[in-house]
């Protein structure tokens, strides 16, 4: 009795902490695995009890090492160059509207809040360059791993999947057969910075410190009501009088979801998408998108599609994906009624249809509900790897290994990625971890876990991992 109440208390405190750090509301969606994660971390770091670990976390700044690792684990960053065409078209229209070279007012200041790995900020700069508009772009994110990629400006084909190749060839330079870099003068005024949307907003270099446009796509979707209100307040506080807010195509703000402290935002159709301005009138369900006001000069467009659903049939790694899909389907039967299982089932259907990008979006949604779901990270890693997004795949497997350090499947896939990169030392460590994991993981396999379930059906995967690990270690241990 005492044990279960202390567990409840731990989950409740962990959820509070995560909401304080990130704005995410996980209370309903992830309690069981939150407990497992905090148990595991506290054991690993030598605390007597998870509550001691939580108490320590509470007193650390969120940017300290351990909180930041947890924040990096929790946040998902699926993104791309040229993502969300309707909203980009709205942005293009705004850039032209706000920029007036005759008055030499300086650049248009754009803040990309929740920029993930940076593709969005570079896309804004490309749009501005095409329109001959001077722009200053700041991309901010809470996830330090994502920001490191943004700063490096190096991307693989996966990040460029939505960008027409003519634009890619104009603005990016090929480094090797799979990577591109952003060394183009159009990006001279693109900057990145660590920032939490729950903190006071960054200033623009304009003397008044305010932003002309705040672009915040696909960030607030998992925020609690309180956190959404706070983030919106932070954005509007730093918005120029003539400034605009842009969210994602599929994100509409409803006042009843926002609470009384949220700023009033007025939706406006613009250039094929929709944007918001702070205003007196409350927005929301009572204003149907078809009746939104549109600013003069804009054509009245059709409603934007929710996402640009690019079909991908050219998966180079389909045998494993087929296994994974079967496994995911079976697992979804295990945990019926669970949203995450439902999303996994849908992801499996997309995999079967060869639509890996949509499968990745389902997994991103699953991870938004439950960022501690190891199998979703593994499935995401497998899909991204097969799409050639090696860095992002490695990140996904890293998250799985953070949660379950001896996860043989994540370790095996990580080893393969390191080996392909020629990083023999890291591959050796990962293959050793694979063997350790294979020894530890019980047989017959635990039926509540997707990947174990998959592996339970397909001993081939385990056998293959074991064989490869032994072969690699034999070769490289003998060589060293
Ligand atoms: C799905 S990505 C969206 C990326 C990009 N805006 C796009 O639409 O392509 C969401 C991003 O929001 C970031 N994020 C989540 N919570 C945040 C917070 N409290 N402060 C700043 N960034 C946050 C995540 O780290 C992640 O990179």
Please count the CA atoms within 13 angstroms of the CA of 55 that sit on its side-chain side: 7
Do residues 149 and 118 lie in contact, with contact meaning Cβ atoms separated by under 8 Å? yes
Q: Parallel, antiparallel, or unpaired for β 135-141 and 108-113?
A: parallel
Q: For residue 409, what are the domain limits?
A: 318-479
- Tell me how far apart the alpha carbons of residues 157 and 412 are, in angstroms, rounded to a whole number: 23
CATH number at residue 191: 3.40.50.150
Question: 76 CB less than 6 Å from ligand 1?
Answer: yes
| 179-181 sheet: strands from edge to edge | 154-156, 179-181, 173-174
Instruction: Please give the span between the terminal C-alpha atoms of the chain, in angstroms, as a whole number.
Output: 55
Q: Is 451 among the domain residues?
A: yes
Query: Which of the listed residues 45, 74, 103 is the one where a domain comes to its end?
Result: 74
Do residues 256 and 284 lie in contact, with contact meaning Cβ atoms separated by under 8 Å? yes
What residue owns the CA closest to ligand 1's atom 24? 75
Predicted confidence at residue 316, as pLDDT, reads 28
Predicted confidence at residue 351, as pLDDT, reads 82
What are 277's two structure tokens? 């301005």
Q: Which of 71, 142, 195 to mutate to test the pocket of ligand 1 (most atoms within 8 A of CB)?
A: 142
Predicted confidence at residue 283, as pLDDT, reads 40
- Tell me how far apart the alpha carbons of residues 196 and 315 are, in angstroms, rounded to a whole number: 36
Distances from the Cα of 308 to the Cαs of 61, 158, 303, 348, 443, in angstroms?
39, 15, 13, 20, 42
Question: How many other C-beta atoms are found inside a 10 Å radius of the C-beta of residue 288?
Answer: 7
Measured over the CA atoms of residue 196, residue 198, residue 199 and residue 202, the dihedral's sign is: positive
Do residues 415 and 437 lie in contact, with contact meaning Cβ atoms separated by under 8 Å? no
Q: How far is the CA of 369 from the centre of ligand 1 (A)?
A: 15
Predicted confidence at residue 296, as pLDDT, reads 42
Do residues 335 and 341 lie in contact, with contact meaning Cβ atoms separated by under 8 Å? yes
Predicted confidence at residue 104, as pLDDT, reads 64
Predicted confidence at residue 105, as pLDDT, reads 72
Do residues 212 and 158 lie in contact, with contact meaning Cβ atoms separated by under 8 Å? no
DSSP secondary structure string, 128-149? HHHHT--EEEEEEES-HHHHHH
The two counts, helices (H) then strands (E), for the chain are 19, 10
Residue 234 and residue 147 share a domain? yes
Closest alpha carbon to 81 in 223, 189, 14, 181: 181
Q: How far is the CA of 142 from the centre of ligand 1 (A)?
A: 7
Q: Is 358 among the domain residues?
A: yes
Q: How far is the CA of 115 from the centre of ligand 1 (A)?
A: 6
Q: How far is the CA of 102 from the centre of ligand 1 (A)?
A: 36
Rounded to an integer, what is the distance from CA 95 to the centroid of its chain?
26
Question: How many other C-beta atoms are found inside a 10 Å radius of the C-beta of residue 224?
Answer: 18
User: Could you check whether the bond before residue 444 is cis, i.e. omega within 30 degrees of 0?
Assistant: yes
Do residues 138 and 158 lie in contact, with contact meaning Cβ atoms separated by under 8 Å? no
Residue 242 and residue 198 share a domain? yes
Q: How far is the CA of 8 from the centre of ligand 1 (A)?
A: 29
Q: Is 299 among the domain residues?
A: no
Q: Is 183 among the domain residues?
A: yes
Q: Count of residues for the chain?
A: 480
Q: Is 201 among the domain residues?
A: yes
Residue 434 and residue 367 share a domain? yes
Please state the domain count of the chain. Answer: 3
Ligand 1: atom nearest CA of 198 is 19
Residue 196 and residue 64 share a domain? no
Residue 271 and residue 167 share a domain? yes
Query: Which of the listed residues 74, 101, 122 is the one where a domain comes to its end?
Result: 74
Q: Is 302 among the domain residues?
A: no
Q: Is 297 among the domain residues?
A: no
Residue 359 and residue 228 share a domain? no
φ, ψ for residue 354 (rounded to 5)? 80, 15
Residue 70 and residue 100 share a domain? no
Residue 137 and residue 23 share a domain? no
Ligand 1: atom nearest CA of 116 is 27
Which of 185-221 are b and which e, b meaning 16 or more Cβ less than 10 Å from the residue's Cβ? ebbebbbbeebbbbeebbebebeeebbbbbbbbbbbe
Ligand 1: atom nearest CA of 195 is 21
What are 65's two structure tokens? 């090492």
Residue 247 and residue 131 share a domain? yes
Q: Which residue has the tokens 């007597």?
A: 48
Q: Is 383 among the domain residues?
A: yes
Q: How far is the CA of 117 from the centre of ligand 1 (A)?
A: 9
Closest alpha carbon to 126 in 158, 84, 170: 170
Residue 358 and residue 220 share a domain? no
What are 154's two structure tokens? 């190096």
Predicted confidence at residue 103, as pLDDT, reads 67
Q: How far is the CA of 218 from the centre of ligand 1 (A)?
A: 7
Closest alpha carbon to 69 in 77, 57, 55: 57
Predicted confidence at residue 325, as pLDDT, reads 45
Residue 342 and residue 469 share a domain? yes
Distances from the Cα of 454 to the Cαs of 395, 399, 400, in angstroms?
22, 19, 16
What residue owns the CA closest to ligand 1's atom 8? 217
Q: Which of 68, 138, 139, 141 to mutate to test the pocket of ligand 1 (most atoms within 8 A of CB)?
A: 141
Ligand 1: atom nearest CA of 117 is 27
One digit per residue, the tens of pLDDT, for the chain of length 480 reads: 466 778 888 899 999 999 999 999 988 788 888 999 999 999 999 999 999 999 999 999 999 999 999 999 999 999 999 999 999 999 999 999 999 766 667 899 999 999 999 999 999 999 999 999 999 999 999 999 999 999 999 999 999 999 999 999 999 999 998 899 999 999 999 999 999 999 999 999 999 999 999 999 999 998 999 999 999 999 999 999 999 999 999 887 777 777 778 898 999 999 999 999 997 543 443 333 344 454 543 433 333 332 332 222 222 233 445 444 444 444 444 343 488 888 888 888 888 788 999 999 999 999 999 999 988 999 899 999 999 999 999 999 999 999 999 898 899 999 999 999 999 999 999 999 999 999 987 543 343 345 444 444 556 777 888 999 999 999 888 665
Residue 336 and residue 286 share a domain? no
Q: How far is the CA of 72 from the centre of ligand 1 (A)?
A: 11
Question: How many other C-beta atoms are found inside a 10 Å radius of the C-beta of residue 301?
Answer: 16
Ligand 1: atom nearest CA of 23 is 19
Query: Which of the listed residues 21, 50, 74 is the one where a domain comes to its end?
Result: 74
Question: 145 CB less than 6 Å from ligand 1?
Answer: no
């Amino acid at each position: 009795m005492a044990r279960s109440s202390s567990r409840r208390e731990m989950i409740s405190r962990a959820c509070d902490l995560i909401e304080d750090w990130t704005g995410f509301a996980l209370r309903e969606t992830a309690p069981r695995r939150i407990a497992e994660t905090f148990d595991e971390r506290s054991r690993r770091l030598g605390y007597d009890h998870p509550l001691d670990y939580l108490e320590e976390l509470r007193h650390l700044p969120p940017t300290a090492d351990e909180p930041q690792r947890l924040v990096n684990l929790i946040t998902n960053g699926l993104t791309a160059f040229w993502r969300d065409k309707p909203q980009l078209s709205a942005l293009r229209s705004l850039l032209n509207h706000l920029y007036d070279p005759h008055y030499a007012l300086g650049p248009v200041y754009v803040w990309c809040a929740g920029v993930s790995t940076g593709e969005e900020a570079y896309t804004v700069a490309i749009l501005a360059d095409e329109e001959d508009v001077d722009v200053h772009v700041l991309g901010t994110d809470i996830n330090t791993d994502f920001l490191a990629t943004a700063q490096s400006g190096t991307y693989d084909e996966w990040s460029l999947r939505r960008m027409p190749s003519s634009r890619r060839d104009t603005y990016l330079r090929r480094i090797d057969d799979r990577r591109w870099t952003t060394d183009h003068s159009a990006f001279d005024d693109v900057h990145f910075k660590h920032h939490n949307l729950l903190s006071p907003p960054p200033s623009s270099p304009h003397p008044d410190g305010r932003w002309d446009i705040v672009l915040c796509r696909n960030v607030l979707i998992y925020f609690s009501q309180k956190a959404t209100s706070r983030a919106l307040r932070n954005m509007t506080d730093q918005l120029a009088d003539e400034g605009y807010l842009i969210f994602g195509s599929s994100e509409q703000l409803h006042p009843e979801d926002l609470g009384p402290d949220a700023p009033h935002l007025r939706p406006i159709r613009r250039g094929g998408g929709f944007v918001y301005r702070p205003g007196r009138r409350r927005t929301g369900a009572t204003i149907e998108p078809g009746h939104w006001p549109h600013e003069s000069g804009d054509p009245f467009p059709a409603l934007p599609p929710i996402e640009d659903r690019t079909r991908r049939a050219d998966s180079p790694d389909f045998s494993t994906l087929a296994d994974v899909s079967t496994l995911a389907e079976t697992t979804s039967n295990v945990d019926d009624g669970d949203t995450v299982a439902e999303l996994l089932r849908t992801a499996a259907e997309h995999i079967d249809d060869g639509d890996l990008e949509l499968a990745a979006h389902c997994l991103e949604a699953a991870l938004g509900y439950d960022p501690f779901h190891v199998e979703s990270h593994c499935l995401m890693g497998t899909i991204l790897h097969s799409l050639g997004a090696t860095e992002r795949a490695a990140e996904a497997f890293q998250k799985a290994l953070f949660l379950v350090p001896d996860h043989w499947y994540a370790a095996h896939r990580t080893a393969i990625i390191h080996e392909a990169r020629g990083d023999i030392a890291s591959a050796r460590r990962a293959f050793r971890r694979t063997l350790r994991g294979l020894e530890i993981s019980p047989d017959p396999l635990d039926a509540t876990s997707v990947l174990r379930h998959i592996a339970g059906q397909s001993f081939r995967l385990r056998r293959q991992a074991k064989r490869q690990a032994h072969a690699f270690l034999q070769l490289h241990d003998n060589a060293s």
